[in-house]
């Protein structure tokens, strides 16, 4: 994950409920700090089972989803989100180290809004993609 030197506030993220589904605690902490600095409500699940429970209870505005998770993998989780009438319209951004064209294509076929590669995406880049996807959702 590329690092950032300074905190930038991005309009349009304040008060948005963002669910991060990620088993890497260190990375989760970095993203959590950035989201909180943006004024977001940060929701967190370390595995797929917890994510399913949390998304039903909290109904986030957007989901950041890793693929390689303990238990249910991110692709299966995304499929479950999109099959559930209560969660099908929540945009999901995949944030993964998987970068093969077949992985990216699978994410798109499951209706992921974006597919970001951890190693090449800064936290500012993640924030900008969150804003972009939320703005697209507002227009639709």
The end-to-end CA distance of the chain, in Å, is 31
Which residue is listed with tokens 């999109």? 82
pLDDT digits (tens, 9 = 90+) for 13-54: 889 999 999 999 999 999 999 999 999 999 999 999 999 999
Complete domains list, the chain, with CATH: 17-139 (3.40.50.2300)
pLDDT digits (tens, 9 = 90+) for 59-93: 999 999 999 999 999 999 999 999 999 999 999 99
- Predicted TM-score (pTM) of the model is 0.91
Which residue is listed with tokens 């970068």? 99
Confidence band (pLDDT; 50, 70, 90) for 5?
Answer: very low
The DSSP output letter for 73 is: -
């Amino acid at each position: 994950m590329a690092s950032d030197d300074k905190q930038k506030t991005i309009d349009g993220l304040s008060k948005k409920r963002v669910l991060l589904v990620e088993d890497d605690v260190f990375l989760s902490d970095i993203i959590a700090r950035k989201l909180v600095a943006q004024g977001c409500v940060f929701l967190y699940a370390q595995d797929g089972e917890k994510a399913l429970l949390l998304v039903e209870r909290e109904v986030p505005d957007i989901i950041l989803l890793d693929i390689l998770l303990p238990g249910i993998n991110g692709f299966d989780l995304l499929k479950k989100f999109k099959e559930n009438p209560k969660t099908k319209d929540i945009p999901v951004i995949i944030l993964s180290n998987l970068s093969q064209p077949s992985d990216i294509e699978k994410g798109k076929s499951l209706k992921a809004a974006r597919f970001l590669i951890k190693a090449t995406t800064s936290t500012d880049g993640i924030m900008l993609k969150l804003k972009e996807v939320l703005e697209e959702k507002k227009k639709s």
